[in-house]
Copies of this chain bind each other. A is one copy, B any other.
Amino acid sequence: MKNVNVVVIGFGNVGRAFVKLVSLKRKTISEKYGVNISIVAVADSRGVAIKKEGFDEYEMLKMSELPRSGIYMFSPYARQGASIKEIYEEVEPDIHIELTPANYVSGEPGYTNILFALRKGVHVVTANKAPLVLHYNEIMNEARARGLVVKFRATVMGGTPFLEMLGSMKSHEVEKVEGILNATTNYILSEMHENLIDFDQALKKAQAIGVAEADPSLDIEGFDAAAKLCIVSNVVGKPIDLKSVYRESLSKITLKDVLDAIRQGQVLKYVATLDLQNKSAFVKIVRIPKENILAQVNGTLNAVRVKTEATELFFVGKGGGRIETAHSVLDDVLFISLEKVVKK
């Protein structure tokens, strides 16, 4: 049995879902892959909980039910106000899991945390896009220099192994990646088409069921999709800058636009395109014939088309969802555990 110590930094929806998933899956995983995943520390914005020998199944379940920013209450393991530096002083993780929220201005706290982990010789799994979008090269160079890996499949089409697949197509010259990469806006558009309601109503509904956030601007202004295009561009080795992605706001769409499209046998989709031959990237409202396969990707589904010099692929799956994303994080953890962590 290979024991793998992990620390979970950031404890929102995905963090909770991940800890819960590990509590449920740990036994099966150890039987199937000979890997024992041991969560030795969890941090949120107000504190940390540390247990050197790893939390047991019951503790993990309990922890995943704590209120927001409530790790400091998890006695006897909690330390109010403690930082990740203190975690690393007490435990020796094999994998650092970065699940802090994305800040596209500073990339923090993710960027500092990831570099800190790498400099301590620890592999990283991240679901936080911002550090990769703003500092991809710095992070990867730091990792490479130390023989470490940074995995991040949860950042694009987060409920699927899309990035893993794309990264494995190393013999291909990727020419174009195009698709519906943001679940919130696709849900809003689907609602507008299906129920013929206006944008504000659709947004309110999305917020009511938790598909859109209270401040939905990252999704609606195309930031989230643009950030994903940046990550994709780095994975295929042709990096583009977040600022160079042209973004059209979805908020300008009206019910009249939707009705006009429907009358012409079309649907409106919010499409993100990375055109590597023309070195351009954009997030736009696009009219698509309703027979087109992309027109049929509705609700919180994501879809992507990849065109290379040799082939074309089309892929549909969940963009996010906390459980699906937790699976993606765990898949990355398992990859590192099996391929990179040396048995002690």
Contact = CB atoms under 8 A, between A and B. Distances in A.
B316 A314 contact: yes
A161 B168 contact: yes
Interface in A126-169: 159-161, 164-165, 168-169
Q: Pick from A159, A160, A291, A339 the residue with the most CB of B within 10 Å.
A: A160
A159 B313 CA distance: 9
Contacts of A293: 293, 296, 316
Interface in A282-302: 291, 293, 296
Given A165-B165, A293-B293, A339-B339, A311 B160 contact: yes
A166 to B, nearest CB: 8
Contacts of A172: 327, 331
A176 B165 CA distance: 20
A25 B308 CA distance: 14
Given A165-B161, A331-B168, A315 B318 contact: no
Q: Pick from A160, A172, A310, A338 the residue with the most CB of B within 10 Å.
A: A310
Interface string A59-76: 000000000000000000
A272 B21 CA distance: 31
Contacts of A314: 315-317
Interface string A71-89: 0000000000000000000
Contact of A168 (B164, B170, B291, B324): B164
Nearest to A318: B311
Contacts of A296: 291, 293
Interface in A239-298: 291, 293, 296
Given A293-B293, A293-B296, A159 B311 contact: yes
A21 B171 contact: yes
A161 B314 CA distance: 12
B331 A169 contact: yes
Contact of A32 (B21, B237, B291): B237
Contacts of A311: 159-160, 317-318, 321, 324, 327
Copies of this chain in the oligomer: 2
Given A313-B317, A327-B311, A161 B171 contact: no
Contacts of A338: 170
Given A32-B237, A311-B318, A313-B315, A171 B331 contact: yes
A179 to B, nearest CB: 13
A56 interface: no
A312 interface: yes
Contacts of A335: 168, 170
B313 A171 contact: no
A192 interface: no
A202 to B, nearest CB: 23
A291 B240 CA distance: 37
A196 interface: no
A194 B68 CA distance: 57
5 contacts: A29-B171, A33-B170, A170-B334, A170-B335, A314-B317
Given A170-B334, A293-B293, 12 more contacts: A33-B170, A160-B313, A161-B168, A168-B331, A169-B331, A170-B338, A171-B331, A171-B334, A291-B296, A310-B324, A311-B318, A314-B316
